[in-house]
Chains A and B, each alone.
Chain A
Amino acid sequence: MNLHKYEKIWLIFGIGSLAVFLAVIGFAAFWKGTHPQSHIETIDPQNVEAHEAFKPENLGLREVADGKYTVNIIASAFNYDLGKDENGNRVDTIRVPRGSTVLFQVTTPDVVHGFQIAGTNVNMMVEPGHISRYETVMKNNGEFTIVCNEYCGIGHHLMFGKVEVYD
């Protein structure tokens, strides 16, 4: 099994590229902390309100420190519960200033859902029994649609919300 000289160069180049890719994402993940969401905490799907973050009054956007926010969301077929405003109406848009650090915490009482804020790096699976968390800096302003990107039943495409990042 002798390799041709060009094949050797090609394999070194190819495997080398793969190694570079791994080094780049490995560095970003382990040193810069940009792992994909991998939250390990579990929750009782029959009783998500028992968890502090998912009590009805804690849903939606909260400023936890200067420029730091938390957004708690319950995803269920076929709706994202982003909390209620002062008048008791349901919220459908989250507004944060540009450059703020936002932690999204999502869970579901029923089936598997997706949670993607299209145009950002927030994209997680939401599964009954687990909490999904991802913290990100909203670098760009604009309107970003929250979509459910995992098929969850007949009304799946009716599940959405919005994030608005302003200057």
Chain B
Amino acid sequence: MKNKNPKPQHTKSNESTIHFKGTFIAVMLLGVIMVASWFGVYALFLSR
């Protein structure tokens, strides 16, 4: 399993990662907004 020629695999995944890096950052930003607003309102719930 470990010796399954890591090199070509590396370049391949590298290629596809570069491809959608911007997308990834964008969606993660969206995810952070989702999580932050949820916990914000939950804190308000606890404080009341």
Contact = CB atoms under 8 A, between A and B. Distances in A.
Interface of A: 4-7, 9-10, 13-14, 17, 21, 24-25, 119-121, 139-140
A24 B42 contact: yes
B40 interface: no
Interface string B19-35: 01101100110010011
B48 A21 contact: no
A157 B28 CA distance: 42
A21 B48 CA distance: 19
B3 interface: no
B38 to A, nearest CB: 6
B28 A119 contact: no
Q: How large is the interface on B (under 10, 10 to 19, 20 to 34, 35 or more residues)?
A: 10 to 19
A140 B46 CA distance: 12
| Binding site secondary structure of chain B | helix
Contacts of A21: 38
A103 to B, nearest CB: 17
B42 A6 contact: no
Q: Which 5 pairs, one residue from A and one from B, show the smallest C-beta to C-beta distance? A: A6-B24, A121-B48, A6-B20, A10-B27, A17-B35
A12 B38 CA distance: 18
27 contacts: A4-B16, A4-B20, A5-B16, A5-B17, A6-B17, A6-B20, A6-B21, A6-B23, A7-B20, A9-B24, A10-B27, A10-B28, A10-B31, A13-B28, A13-B31, A17-B31, A17-B34, A17-B35, A17-B38, A24-B42, A25-B42, A119-B48, A120-B48, A121-B48, A139-B47, A140-B47, A140-B48
Contacts of A4: 16, 20
A24 B20 CA distance: 32
Contact of B31 (A14, A24, A140): A14
Nearest to A121: B48
Q: Which of B16, B20, B48 has the most CB of A within 10 A?
A: B48
Contacts of B35: 17
